[in-house]
Chain A
Amino acid sequence: MATRQTQLLARTLLTPAVALLFIWMIVPLALTIYFSTLRYNLLDPGSEAFVGLENFRYFLTDPAFLASLQNTLVLVGSVLAITILLGVPLGLLLNQHVVGLGIVRLMVIAPFFVMPTVSALVWKNLLMHPVSGLFAWIAKLFGATPIDWFTDAPLLAVILIVSWQWLPFATLILLTALQSLDEEQKEAAEMDGARAMSTFIYITLPHLARPITVVILIETIFLLTVFAEIFVTTGGGPGLQTTNIAFLIYSQALIQYDIGSASAGGLVAVVIANIVAFFLVRIVGRNLEA
């Protein structure tokens, strides 16, 4: 009796969340699929017509798509490489005996809490400005010519900003993982005469394999759709140099009002994200059973 009642209650409590998320997932997605088969431009109302896969052909063969796909991959890949390659040593460093570790950790984690529009504009103006930015001043101190970041290396500039935002995340997760590493194992290895380097390669690094995978997957999910940083600094330019897929879809939808093509692009983005999500969900799922 009681169990059946409990079960019924449990189901009732779960239903609103499941229903809402189901609607949230299915309705916009279905509409995106529907719009992607239409010729539909908001500037030309009344001309909607079914065009089959025409939008996909248009979107996928558009030179802007290939350029933005390449930018997306370069952006995601570079930020992942930077945050992991700096995050591991940084995590190891913070795992040492550091006086005032609490304060250092606060300073390291801080960029993650800064809203994207603020980080982007502060970096663009205060640090990367070719004349009055701090980097320009430092370059001149060393006798070098200041880099005009957003003209000469716009994608690199965006990569640096986004890396600064995500380095704390990678570091914090790797540090958390390091803290759970069995100290006895390390001590035993040291007693057996293992050098610091081999302790790192044979004990620490394997232990970090899983958290690194998690960092890669989660960052990828978010980095695939970097938007605000591009929106406030370069607006996708110059040309298409900093247009990623997310920004391309945005500009087709809300600047050119080409609903059909933007929807087709949206579905392409969903497919790419799903490939990554597939692996992430499997890893998390394995953890759920343990």
Chain B
Amino acid sequence: MARMVTTQNKVISTAAAWLVGFLIFFPILWMVLTSFKTELDAFSIPPSFLFFHWTTENYVTVQERSDYLHHALNSIIIAGGSTLIAMVIAVPAAWSMAFSPTKRTKDILLWMLSTKMMPPVGVLVPIYLIYRNFGLLDTRAGLVFILCLGNLPIVIWMLFTYFKEIPKDILEAARMDGATIGRELIYVLTPMAIPGLASTMLLNLILAWNEAFWTLNLSTLDAAPLTVFIASYSSPEGLFWAKLSAASTLAIAPILVLGWFSQRQLVRGLTFGAVK
């Protein structure tokens, strides 16, 4: 009897969960479907869900007419570059705070967190003027720099929570065996830290890829990543839904794949370890 109820519950909750999941995912699915329609089909009422003339011409047009690859390359350089630089600065800092904590470590960590709380719009004016005067507007370097600084607190925090979990006894054992700090770092710490390093990089890549405040305000064409490229579709010029969908699908596909791999780290990284 009890077993019956469980099976029944399982069926109900499974059906409900799939339905809700499908509804939430639907806009993305709809976008992908639309990207394979002709502009006329994309606009037609009643909409056709699967039985339309499938075409890949939108993907070709998007590249030919608006140089999609140029913006994709910008996204890769800006997201990748800012992530790498942030890691180079953050790994030593997090390592130091996790393994040689002082009385002030907690204060420093919380202070770093508080810099992330500053609304970007609060410093838009000075950043814009500085960038204008130094010729950094619409440059990849300028965007790499600002996204790196913006995400640095999250990177340090995530690395810190990962490093914290590496047992200290192992380090002491290595030290007893006469390992120098350099050797300790390379042979003992690094292998244990790699999963944490990887997930931190992944989350930061996602955040930088999707960042849409600084990229919209500080770049227009040369350095414009995909966020800005997509925004250019906001001014309607005739029938453009299918092309918008194709460009959007290309823009989110890589990050969706990465994101799905990093769900658990997402919680940890975005709550600063407050929820694990």
Residues on A close to B: CB < 8 A?
6-7, 9-11, 13-14, 16-18, 20-21, 24-25, 27-29, 31-32, 35, 90, 93-94, 96-101, 103-119, 121-123, 125-127, 131-132, 134, 136-137, 164, 167-169, 172-173, 176-177, 180, 210-211, 214, 218, 221, 224-225, 227-228, 231-233, 245-246, 249-250, 253-254, 259, 262-263, 266-267, 269-270, 272-274, 276-277, 280-281, 283-285, 287-289
- Taking a contact as CB atoms under 8 Å apart, the answer to whether A180 and B97 are in contact is no
| B63: interface (CB < 8 Å) | no
Can you list 16 A-B contacts (CB < 8 A)?
A13-B93, A18-B108, A25-B118, A28-B130, A100-B18, A101-B17, A110-B24, A113-B252, A115-B252, A122-B248, A126-B245, A136-B45, A172-B267, A227-B121, A227-B213, A254-B124
Q: Which of A105, A123, A266 contacts B121 (CB 8 A)?
A: A266
**B102 contacts across to A, CB distance below 8 A:** 7, 10
**A93 contacts across to B, CB distance below 8 A:** 13, 16-17, 20
Majority secondary structure, B binding face = helix
Q: Taking A137-B45, A281-B110 as contacts, is the C-beta distance between A274 and B24 under 8 angstroms?
A: no
Complex Cα–Cα for A250 and B217 (A): 9
Further contacts, 18 of them, CB under 8 A, given A14-B108, A97-B10: A17-B89, A18-B112, A21-B153, A28-B123, A101-B17, A104-B21, A107-B21, A107-B24, A110-B25, A115-B251, A126-B31, A137-B47, A176-B267, A263-B125, A266-B125, A277-B117, A281-B113, A284-B110
Closest to B108 in A: A18
Closest to A174 in B: B275
Q: Which of A16, A28, A126, A218 contacts B241 (CB 8 A)?
A: A126
A272 CB, min distance to chain B CBs, angstroms: 8
Complex Cα–Cα for A69 and B213 (A): 19
Q: Which of A118, A214, A269 contacts B122 (CB 8 A)?
A: A269
- Taking a contact as CB atoms under 8 Å apart, the answer to whether A14 and B97 are in contact is yes
**B13 contacts across to A, CB distance below 8 A:** 93, 96-98
- Taking a contact as CB atoms under 8 Å apart, the answer to whether A274 and B117 are in contact is yes
Encode B238-276 as 1/0 by CB contact (under 8 A) with A. Answer: 000100110010011001101110011011001111111
Most buried by A among B108, B123, B245: B123
**A90 contacts across to B, CB distance below 8 A:** 20
Complex Cα–Cα for A103 and B14 (A): 11
A88 CB, min distance to chain B CBs, angstroms: 13
